[in-house]
A and B are shown apart, each in its own frame.
Chain A
Amino acid sequence: MATTVTAPGSFAQAQTDLGQDYIFAVQAILEEINERTSVLQMMPLLGDLVGSGTDTVRIARYAGVGFAEAFTAMATETEQIVPTGWTTDVDTATIARYGLGKSETYQGSILNRADGVDLDLLVAKVPESVEKTMRDLMFTTMATITGVVGTASTAWTMDDEINLVTNFNETSGFQGAVQTWRHSEQFSDLAASLRNEPAMQEPGVLSAIQGLKVGGGAFQFLGFDNHSSNDVTASGADHIGAAFAPGAIGRVVASTMPLQGRVRDPSRAMLIPQIGLVIEWDSTSGTATAKFDANGWWGTALLSSTLFPQFRIRSIND
């Protein structure tokens, strides 16, 4: 239907036929905020199961010798030395299969704007999803730690913090390095408790703890490296953080290198054997749909507290 423009010609009259409802801002499409905490480098690689014939890795350890064992004072000049023994034990890790995929219709691909959200953009985000998965797995593993400080039904306090430090310091052989991972609410509880601690009434301490951001690096307190993540698990009414010597939680992978000759289109498949990942492209012409599938094989394990001291950090989720 023709539009009759009456004088004076206005934008309101012109927009329908000559203008447009909106344009997109001249900048990259913005991604909504996500926690970007990376823990991959905090979990040492315990083994690669490629070509091993098993899905299980055993990590052996020994004890009762060297610094653990002193000489016995002999009663006489000729008393016979009785040989002593030692101990061995193992920790075990297994892998599982993980998957992530995206699909898009041919029509979607054809009509997408040049700077739109398409499969090419999405496949580039897969490594970030690996990081997110590793973070979830590390926090899940933390829930299996046997030692615990704090209780489910109460807020974390400075008393609990002192207990935590004491538990580490009084562990024979403890070397000093500890990282803690807690929900942000657990740090809020600690900050609240510090207000009633005369020895901690320093602006620097309170500012540092209140300034601690999820995924924002470590906050040094009482000799520990403290990290915050809102992905720390909760069973419902409680947060299950943890403190542990670096190395307590490790990871295993199965290298995807043998798949190089097995994937459907080797020229387009992406293999990242170091983290056990393979990404393949596929399409179905009958339904005019393209997709990629990412498969990963990895796992995490909690190593013995006799190797790496470790405690759960438990407090109320309210």
Chain B
Amino acid sequence: MPIPETAETPYEVQPLNLATVQGKRVMQAAATPVFHLVHYPDNWEVGKVRMEDGSLVAHWLPEMSAVPVVPGVCMCRTIKAGEPPESAYQDHLAWLRSRGQIPIPMDAIIGGSSGYVRNVTCQNPHTKRMGLRHFDAWSTPKVTKKGKTPKFLRDEAGFNSWRLALVQHGWTLPDGTSGRIPNPDPDVIAAALGLAHKHLERKESDTDLPDRAYARELGKRKKIVEELTGAVVPSFIGAPIQHTQPDYSAVVIKMLVARIEAGEGLASVLADVPDADERIAAAVTAAATPTPKPKSRK
């Protein structure tokens, strides 16, 4: 027998919503630290981007690693009294940049929105301690069983569109500076294609497999090769706001100045700045170039 509908009554009757009685579920998982998404220019992968007409088109996209911010790890440190919280990771970001990595600032404005880190209240199943579990904006937490690693629903197409925008338009920061991910190196794309072909050739020689398995495995790799070959290689189109400092935030510059003011030698500070000589030369040239006067309205 089906459960009956509620009979006619002057009162508004609704189905029971357990969330309103019991409160929202708390994710049974350990807390995780906040993180930066970081790209290394050699790492590109193919993903499908949803176009304006709703179709999905494969593009080469910058691979992103979520690098957690934890004091004591890779130059993150315990802040001194009076320092702003973000001071904990400024040396860490400088360290990442010195290795050629490109951290995407957490407050980067891309396509009119910012804040790619999200969190959910969680409870460590072992310690019962409450905390925050951080994840990116394109992940939606699924119900997690006790003792299991939390799982997420993923808006891959949305994440891919965002990654594409990092290359095509870059980002701006609240302080007016901007940055972008450089276009992919053609050699990197060629190497990835070569690797996919190698995998295909290796599988073609696996003739010991049963016919159906052979066809399936071969088909998978052929599809990958086709997808990689046909993927669009993105390039910089133009940022919404043009700036001359591509990837160096004002916060980091302030931090460097603070180190000099604290008595650290200029050479020592500049040693942590990638391409310091070129940057100084560019700044001097820009300063020496007279700014054209605005035309009179007469």
A317 touches B151 (CB 8 A): yes
| CB-defined contacts of B209 to chain A, threshold 8 Å | 196, 198
Q: Which positions in A face B, CB cutoff 8 Å?
A: 32, 34, 55, 92-98, 136-137, 140-141, 143-144, 146-148, 151-153, 159, 162-163, 183, 185, 196-198, 230, 233-237, 240, 298-302, 312, 314, 317-318
| CB-defined contacts of B95 to chain A, threshold 8 Å | 92
| CB-defined contacts of B38 to chain A, threshold 8 Å | 144
B72 touches A235 (CB 8 A): no
Task: Known contacts A92-B95, A233-B32, A236-B136; decide if A302 and B74 are in contact (CB<8 Å).
Answer: yes
A300 to B101: give the CA distance in the assembly, Å.
19
**Distance in Å: Cβ of B9 to nearest Cβ of chain A:** 45
Interface residues of B in 200-239 (CB under 8 A from A): 202, 206, 208-209, 213, 216-217, 221
| CB-defined contacts of A141 to chain B, threshold 8 Å | 73-74
List of 4 A-B pairs having minimum Cβ-Cβ separation, nearest first:
A235-B66, A96-B71, A236-B139, A96-B72
Task: Known contacts A96-B78, A146-B40, A237-B139; decide if A300 and B154 are in contact (CB<8 Å).
Answer: no
Pick the contact of B73 from A237, A299, A317 — CB < 8 Å? A299
| CB-defined contacts of A234 to chain B, threshold 8 Å | 149-150
A159 to B195: give the CA distance in the assembly, Å.
10
**Distance in Å: Cβ of B178 to nearest Cβ of chain A:** 24
Please give 20 more A-B residue pairs, beta carbons under 8 A apart, in addition to A32-B126, A144-B96, A163-B195.
A34-B126, A94-B76, A95-B78, A97-B71, A97-B78, A136-B70, A144-B73, A146-B40, A147-B43, A148-B40, A152-B45, A153-B47, A153-B154, A183-B149, A196-B217, A234-B149, A236-B139, A237-B138, A299-B72, A300-B72
> Can you list 20 A-B pairs with a CB-CB distance of less than 8 A?
A55-B78, A93-B75, A94-B91, A98-B72, A137-B70, A140-B73, A144-B67, A144-B73, A144-B74, A144-B96, A144-B101, A151-B45, A152-B45, A159-B202, A196-B216, A196-B217, A234-B150, A235-B65, A236-B154, A312-B65
B65 touches A143 (CB 8 A): yes
Task: Known contacts A137-B73, A299-B73; decide if A317 and B65 are in contact (CB<8 Å).
Answer: no
A300 touches B40 (CB 8 A): no
Whether B184 is near chain A, meaning CB under 8 Å from some CB there, is no
| CB-defined contacts of A233 to chain B, threshold 8 Å | 32, 66, 68
